[in-house]
């Protein structure tokens, strides 16, 4: 009766070895997948940071352009007022 018992022990041991081997392979595969996922996360974070920087720069440019536009509108208004004043003076001179 020892022969069948030893055979069952060997089969159980072989089964256990196979399960351990598959587990080791699975852990190795999961580690590779985890590393790849972490690289993707880092790349996405870098893209996000670059996009935020571009957005901040665009906001800054927008603010400067808006300020410049306001200044140009003010200058245009001043020039219009001065031209109207000069035209009024010319009309007075023509009328005399």
38-94 per-position pLDDT tens digit: 999 999 999 999 999 999 999 999 999 999 999 999 999 999 999 999 999 999 988
What is the pLDDT, as a whole number, of residue 2? 53
In the predicted structure, residue 16 carries a pLDDT above the cut 70: yes
In the predicted structure, residue 3 carries a pLDDT above the cut 70: no
What is the pLDDT, as a whole number, of residue 95? 76
Burial group, residue 41, by CB count within 10 angstroms (0-12, 13-18, 19+): exposed
Q: Which residue has the higher pLDDT, 4 or 27?
A: 27
What is the pLDDT, as a whole number, of residue 1? 46
The two three-digit tokens of residue 32, written as one number = 């590779």
The two three-digit tokens of residue 18, written as one number = 């196979």
Q: Which residue has the higher pLDDT, 10 or 15?
A: 15
């Amino acid at each position: 009766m020892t022969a069948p018992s030893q055979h069952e022990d060997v089969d159980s041991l072989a089964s256990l070895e196979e399960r351990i081997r598959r587990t080791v392979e699975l852990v190795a595969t999961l580690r590779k997948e985890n590393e790849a996922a972490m690289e993707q996360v880092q790349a996405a974070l870098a893209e996000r940071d670059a996009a935020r920087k571009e957005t901040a720069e665009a906001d800054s440019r927008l603010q400067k352009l808006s300020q410049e536009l306001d200044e140009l509108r003010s200058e245009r208004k001043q020039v219009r007022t001065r031209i109207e004043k000069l035209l009024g003076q010319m009309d007075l001179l023509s009328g005399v």
